[in-house]
Amino acid sequence: MEKKVIKAGLIGSGFAARFHYDALQHVYSAKVEVTGAWSVTPSKLLEFTRPRALKAYDTLEALIDDCDVLHVCTPTITHEPIVVAALRQHKNVIIEKPLTGYFGDGSPGFNGDTFPREQGLQHTLESLQRMLAAEKESKGKIMYAENWIYAPAIQKERELIERSGAQIIWMHGEQSHSGSHSLAYGQWKLSGGGSMIGKGCHPLSVALYFKQVEGRARDGRPIRPKTITARTHAITRMPGYKNEGYLQTTYKDIEDFALMHIEFEDGAMASLFASELVLGGVNNWIEVNANNHRTKCRMSQNDAMLAYTPDERHFKDIYVVEKTETKQGWSFISPDEGWFHGYQHEMNAFYRSAAYDEPVESNSSLAADTIATIYAGYVSAERKGAEVPVTLL
Ligand SMILES: NC(=O)c1ccc[n+]([C@@H]2O[C@H](COP(=O)([O-])OP(=O)(O)OC[C@H]3O[C@@H](n4cnc5c(N)ncnc54)[C@H](O)[C@@H]3O)[C@@H](O)[C@H]2O)c1
């Protein structure tokens, strides 16, 4: 049988657009034709489209018209209007994490450290409602590009939960590294928050997903989050912080550490960390403690391959692993980082869904629960860790 042809368009031409384009080269569930890309900065757009022989579109509307699937690879603050515009044209949207958020009131004096968190939560819930309503009225769907969901270790654990009838009692996990280089990341008005949303969204989505899977397998309905207790800190902005130069220190008004403790409807729990405070490369992992099994899913720092060199000049121009400070000595070299992190698997699943109208595992409901939990978490952190209910939409 001939594969279905699906036309793809990329919105944005930065880091995420590049790894989306690379992951599309591995899709075999459909024949993907990348129609072109659009971005706000024409010179940067051409830098992206020229070497890939893609059409550079002048307007977002023209790109949406020409494509079946749109990839939203732009800053989070732009996600809602772009997603709604594509859904109105009944197109599928692959949207980067985080789905949406709160970016301040637009005033010059807005400060991410001090604004009332309840205001951030309410604005975010309204943004989520608008996006979910647009999806309901559309023939297209939101495909939430949470790559962790499609990481092979996570999908294997899904199978263990489903087929063993497991009850998950406690999960713990983390995404941490030495910090983001992007200056936009350090400003709440551009990022919508710090470690809790930027990094914590990954292990959180997986924890929420596993409880959805468990509930669906046993009772035909997902088990969803009930409350969150959270703490945030700005360690690299402490007056006494002694900067040795290994961690990024460019954050203006966001946290660089977050702890989230989530209680689910059935009383089970997840304890998750996210930070910019960890040396030794990206630390992406989640552990599941169930009533009949235990797993450790390690997307990074696994021992699929270890490498040793007595002097890092031997590996000078060789990519080893994300964000490691040195290549000398032993490294958790990754033989295929994108594979372990699920990037190619997620694209393959999304295009199968676009071609055959199948539901996606990483959908708008999971994305909305993730964001609603995080912004309830910011309210909790403002109250120094008081328990706050999660609003389910
Ligand atoms: N899943 C992951 O592992 C992962 C990793 C990195 C980034 N991301 C996400 O990808 C998204 C983009 O991040 P990035 O690292 O590619 O950023 P980037 O700065 O490298 O690229 C952003 C792109 O968006 C364009 N842009 C900026 N403002 C715009 C606007 N108002 N309208 C349209 N386009 C605009 C820029 O021109 C640029 O091409 C973010 O949501 C981020 O959280 C996800």
CATH of the domain at 209: 3.30.360.10
Would you say residue 355 lies in a domain? Answer: no
Does the C-beta of 147 come closer than 6 Å to ligand 1? yes
**Average pLDDT score over residue span 187-195:** 96
Q: Quick count: other Cβ atoms within 10 Å of Cβ 307?
A: 16
The pLDDT of residue 316: 95
Same domain, 230 and 307: yes
Ligand 1 center–CA 3 separation, angstroms: 30
Does the C-beta of 12 come closer than 6 Å to ligand 1? yes
Would you say residue 136 lies in a domain? Answer: yes
Would you say residue 122 lies in a domain? Answer: yes
Runs of H (alpha helix) within 137-252:
147-150, 152-164, 188-191, 195-198, 201-219
Which tens digit of pLDDT belongs to each residue from 158-184?
999 999 999 999 999 999 999 987 778
pLDDT at residue 267 is higher than 80: yes
Q: Which of 91, 110, 145 is the last residue of a domain?
A: 145
Does the C-beta of 345 come closer than 6 Å to ligand 1? no
Task: Give the position, in ligand 1's atom list, of the atom nearest the Cα of 79.
Answer: 41
**Average pLDDT score over residue span 31-40:** 97
Same domain, 108 and 218: no
Ligand 1 center–CA 95 separation, angstroms: 10
Does the C-beta of 15 come closer than 6 Å to ligand 1? yes
The pLDDT of residue 185: 86
Ligand 1 center–CA 87 separation, angstroms: 19
Torsion of CA 277, 147, 196, 238, to 10 degrees: 20
Choose the residue to mutate in 11, 13, 15, 18 for probing ligand 1, maximizing ligand atoms within 8 Å of C-beta: 15
Which tens digit of pLDDT belongs to each residue from 326-360?
999 999 999 999 999 999 999 999 999 999 999 99
The pLDDT of residue 181: 78
Same domain, 141 and 190: no
Same domain, 92 and 217: no
Would you say residue 298 lies in a domain? Answer: yes
Does the C-beta of 18 come closer than 6 Å to ligand 1? no
Cis peptide before 98 (omega within 30 of 0): yes
How many percent of the chain have pLDDT more than 90?
98
Taking CA atoms only, the protein residue closest to ligand 1 atom 43 is 97
Ligand 1 center–CA 268 separation, angstroms: 35
Ligand 1 center–CA 81 separation, angstroms: 14
**Average pLDDT score over residue span 133-144:** 98
Split at pLDDT 50, 70, 90, the class of 205 is: very high
Q: Quick count: other Cβ atoms within 10 Å of Cβ 236?
A: 18
Which tens digit of pLDDT belongs to each residue from 230-260?
999 999 999 999 999 999 999 999 999 999 9
How many percent of the chain have pLDDT more than 70?
100
Same domain, 91 and 130: yes
Taking CA atoms only, the protein residue closest to ligand 1 atom 21 is 14
Task: Give the position, in ligand 1's atom list, of the atom nearest the Cα of 41.
Answer: 37
Runs of H (alpha helix) within the chain:
15-24, 42-49, 60-66, 79-88, 117-136, 147-150, 152-164, 188-191, 195-198, 201-219, 337-341, 343-356, 364-382
Task: Give the domain range for residue 41.
Answer: 5-145
Ligand 1 center–CA 333 separation, angstroms: 26
Does the C-beta of 72 come closer than 6 Å to ligand 1? no
The pLDDT of residue 86: 98
Would you say residue 71 lies in a domain? Answer: yes
**Average pLDDT score over residue span 141-155:** 98
Number of domains composing the chain: 2
Would you say residue 255 lies in a domain? Answer: yes
Q: Could you tell me the pTM of the whole model?
A: 0.97
Would you say residue 359 lies in a domain? Answer: no
Does the C-beta of 47 come closer than 6 Å to ligand 1? no
CATH of the domain at 57: 3.40.50.720
Does the C-beta of 44 come closer than 6 Å to ligand 1? yes
Does the C-beta of 334 come closer than 6 Å to ligand 1? no
Does the C-beta of 75 come closer than 6 Å to ligand 1? yes
Split at pLDDT 50, 70, 90, the class of 1 is: confident
Same domain, 141 and 168: no
The pLDDT of residue 266: 98
Same domain, 129 and 265: no
Ligand 1 center–CA 8 separation, angstroms: 17
Q: Which of 118, 145, 172 is the last residue of a domain?
A: 145
Same domain, 104 and 234: no
Does the C-beta of 346 come closer than 6 Å to ligand 1? no
Same domain, 130 and 199: no
Q: Residue 144 to residues 3, 51, 71, 185: CA-CA distances in angstroms?
A: 24, 28, 10, 20
Choose the residue to mutate in 41, 49, 74 for probing ligand 1, maximizing ligand atoms within 8 Å of C-beta: 74
Taking CA atoms only, the protein residue closest to ligand 1 atom 20 is 14
Which tens digit of pLDDT belongs to each residue from 50-82?
999 999 999 999 999 999 999 999 999 999 999
* Cα four-point dihedral sign 335, 309, 277, 75: negative
Same domain, 260 and 374: yes
Would you say residue 179 lies in a domain? Answer: yes
Same domain, 214 and 287: yes
**Average pLDDT score over residue span 197-218:** 98
